[in-house]
Structure 1
Amino acid sequence: MKSAMNFILKLFELLKSDPKTTIAKYIFFGGIGLRGIGQIVYEFSDKDVSHTFTFSDGIDYAGYLLIFIGIILLMIRFFTIKNNPPTLAYGVGIENMDIHSPLKAIPSYERYDCIELSIPEINSYDKNKLLETYKFIQTLINSRVENKNSQKVYIGALGSFPYLFLLGALFRNAYSHIQLLDYDRHASGGGKWYKLPPYNESAEELFHKLMYEDKSIEEKIHELIENELDEVGIALSYTFPVNKKAIPEYLRTNILYLEHTYGIGHDKLSNEEAQKKLINELSKYISLFADNGKKIHLFVSAQSSICINIGKSYMNNSHGTLILHNYDSSTRKYNWNIKFNKNNVN
């Protein structure tokens, strides 16, 4: 009885929410509209109180065909989701974090069969704890013991930039479809997880801008490449301005300081299209430095989905060694870093 009820509930959610199922639903009802199941006519007359009941089979083979196709498509979609359930990876990277699981951010028709991947809760602002847990997380993601049939993964995580980057980098090769979730701390009624919408609704052009200097990004990159120092940095001021004084002094003048045209602030890049645009630019800058033998330091102030996306965009053959810096808000310094190269960390 319970399994039958679950079947009905899941089918109802599919009919209500899933775009592919909606197409099948319209095909099915289109068949009914073509009188594929016949017609019933009832007539009533006040004079002499007469009644007429007529049934016409109204056979329309096109209608029957559409009904059949609609039912088949509904069943295919149902069992496709059932046999390839999505995975939800929830990363708790803040000590004593009291934030609910992002399960409700997943479309309702996918929740019933969703597999929750239990990433260990850690204090990701502690370098030693992050390094201790990294190998376990790597094995957990790559082995796919709990979710071997999943092709799609939803990722929602909060924590330090190095932690979020590492999650994105680990998931990038393990799944064919990665959907990022983000957390809106300022949502009405308290914080709320949400799925990044695919399109950018703003008509304003989006691109990176160089901070503090009156020159183009390309000119600054050329200057940094020509510098004798074999280390350069990229500082992304998306949520807050990166504190120049917090950066190690030897590197402070060898940094590509970047912001974007939407301005510094919370949740300015809460859609896939905008994030992809900026991360493609960032990837190009990293590749230019790596191709010239530079080690690249990353100082990032951005919302969690951006940090995960930067890790997800890492390319083994193009990005070389990245040095991921953690910012300590209590001391206002970058107090530790992790070197990352092709999933190897230290």
Structure 2
Amino acid sequence: MNKFLNFFIKIYEIWQSGKAGKIGTSLLGFGMILVASGASFTFIIGYSDQKRNVNAAVSSSQNPDMVLYSIGILLIIIGALILIDTYRRLIANRTVIYFGNLLKQGDSDIPYYAMEKNDQLNVTPIKLGLIDSYKKTEVIEEYKHLCRLFKDRTDHIDAKKVYIASLASTPYLYLLGTLFRNGHIQNEILDYNRDLDKWYRLDTIGNNLSNCLMYEDNFTTVNDKLNYLCNSNFESIGIALSYTFPIDKTSIPPALRDKTIFLTHGLGFGNDKINNKAAQASLLNELTVYIDKLKSFNKNIHLFVSAQASFNVNLGKRYQDNTMDEVKIYNFNGSLREYDWFISFNSGIVK
């Protein structure tokens, strides 16, 4: 009985999965109607009254319509083949979603609804460790644990696609992103809309954005400030990204305040301002160029980031083992209103 019910549940799920599923089930159903309409049948209605010794019967029959019947059989076969093919592809395309709401704010349920419909049918949920992402030691230990899993692809060895949905500190999200830096598997980074209290996929299409100076400090353009820092005798250079909230100079460690380039974009401050892939990619492309240029002058890079969760993960994905070397990513302490600790990442080595 359970197998019978599961079969129809799976057929319903396939029907929901997309156009192919809807076409297959429609052809199957329409074919059954044509077969029933074209088939031959006879029915008899009888009446009997023993007391009055009366017996009567009325019969009616319909000869088969071979054209309707044949078309119906053909549609059933085609519909069944489409459903079987759709089912096989869905089973083969297993997806995994890594989820961790470490900030313990808003929606704490795994956001299946934010995934593409096809990916929801054969998905394995994996909850990330419930750590305090604002404690450096716990962040490092969790990264080492995840690194071992991802090295062997323990949890997603046969997955065709991986979703990541996580709210946590910037260093944690950055490290999470570095696990996908080699592009060995298709992945989708989800973000969280605090106003709507729901997760969402980034739009693919959007307007490109460009970084601009937040504090001019006698410099007209980003390249002017960048060239100054490259040609200076400073060994360490800070890059402060003010996308969600403005980063105040006083929140930066004193030794780096005059050695930091403060950047923002033209959309203003606020959550979910860069909610599409095109906008994030354009900002990250520019940032990669800045880091590469500074590294070519043997500068140590310190990152201070105020951005939405998906950007922090994508920032980690952009790390390049062969060019970036050591990068330090800082944590913002909301109570102290300052960046109080950092993690150092160097080609997979964290400290």
Could you say which TM-score interval applies, normalised by the shorter chain? 0.7 to 0.9
Matching residue of 2:16: 16
**CA shift at 1:68, angstroms?**
5.8
Deviation per residue, 1:125-159 (Å, 9 max, x gap): 01111122221121123223333211211100011
Matching residue of 1:48: none
Matching residue of 1:206: 209
The answer to whether the 8 A contact 1:40-1:54 is kept is no
The answer to whether the 8 A contact 1:275-1:306 is kept is yes
Please provide the CA RMSD for this pair.
Answer: 3.3
**CA shift at 1:25, angstroms?**
4.4
**CA separation of 1:245 and 1:227: change in aligned 2, threshold 3 A:** same
**Partner Cα separation in structure 2 for residue 195 and residue 94 of structure 1:** 20
Q: Give SS of 1:156's match.
A: strand
Pairing 1:94–2:100 present: no
| From 178, 194, 205, the counterpart of 2:200 | 194
Identity of aligned residues (%): 34
Unaligned ranges ≥5, structure 1: 42-50
**Partner Cα separation in structure 2 for residue 56 and residue 238 of structure 1:** 70
**Partner Cα separation in structure 1 for residue 282 and residue 138 of structure 2:** 33
**CA shift at 1:233, angstroms?**
1.5
**CA shift at 1:14, angstroms?**
3.4
**CA separation of 1:6 and 1:52: change in aligned 2, threshold 3 A:** closer
Matching residue of 2:270: 265
**Partner Cα separation in structure 2 for residue 124 and residue 212 of structure 1:** 30
Q: Give SS of 1:253's match.
A: helix
The answer to whether the 8 A contact 2:170-2:305 is kept is yes
Deviation per residue, 1:190-239 (Å, 9 max, x gap): x2122223222xxx652221211151222222111111112212111111
Matching residue of 1:5: 5
Matching residue of 1:154: 163
**CA separation of 1:279 and 1:13: change in aligned 2, threshold 3 A:** farther
**Alignment length (residue pairs):** 328
**CA separation of 1:206 and 1:97: change in aligned 2, threshold 3 A:** closer
The answer to whether the 8 A contact 2:101-2:167 is kept is yes
Q: Give SS of 1:80's match.
A: helix
Q: Give SS of 1:194's match.
A: strand
**Partner Cα separation in structure 2 for residue 208 and residue 168 of structure 1:** 21
Pairing 1:220–2:220 present: no
**Partner Cα separation in structure 2 for residue 145 and residue 32 of structure 1:** 42
**CA separation of 1:4 and 1:314: change in aligned 2, threshold 3 A:** farther
**Partner Cα separation in structure 1 for residue 333 and residue 296 of structure 2:** 31
Aligned partner of 2:205: which letter? Y
**Partner Cα separation in structure 2 for residue 328 and residue 62 of structure 1:** 70
**Partner Cα separation in structure 1 for residue 78 and residue 250 of structure 2:** 65
**CA separation of 1:136 and 1:39: change in aligned 2, threshold 3 A:** closer
**Partner Cα separation in structure 2 for residue 186 and residue 85 of structure 1:** 31
Pairing 1:296–2:305 present: no
The answer to whether the 8 A contact 1:124-1:160 is kept is yes
Q: Give SS of 2:178's match.
A: helix
**CA separation of 1:231 and 1:152: change in aligned 2, threshold 3 A:** same
**CA separation of 1:113 and 1:249: change in aligned 2, threshold 3 A:** same
The answer to whether the 8 A contact 1:28-1:70 is kept is yes
Deviation per residue, 1:47-67 (Å, 9 max, x gap): xxxx997865448x9999887
**Partner Cα separation in structure 2 for residue 75 and residue 316 of structure 1:** 44
**CA shift at 1:343, angstroms?**
1.2
**Partner Cα separation in structure 2 for residue 171 and residue 93 of structure 1:** 20
Aligned partner of 2:167: which letter? L
**Partner Cα separation in structure 1 for residue 76 and residue 291 of structure 2:** 54
Unaligned ranges ≥5, structure 2: 39-59
Matching residue of 1:122: 131
Aligned partner of 1:8: which letter? F
The answer to whether the 8 A contact 1:17-1:107 is kept is no
Q: Which has the larger radius of gyration?
A: 2
**CA separation of 1:134 and 1:5: change in aligned 2, threshold 3 A:** same
The answer to whether the 8 A contact 2:95-2:119 is kept is yes
Q: Give SS of 1:171's match.
A: coil
TM-score by length of 2: 0.81
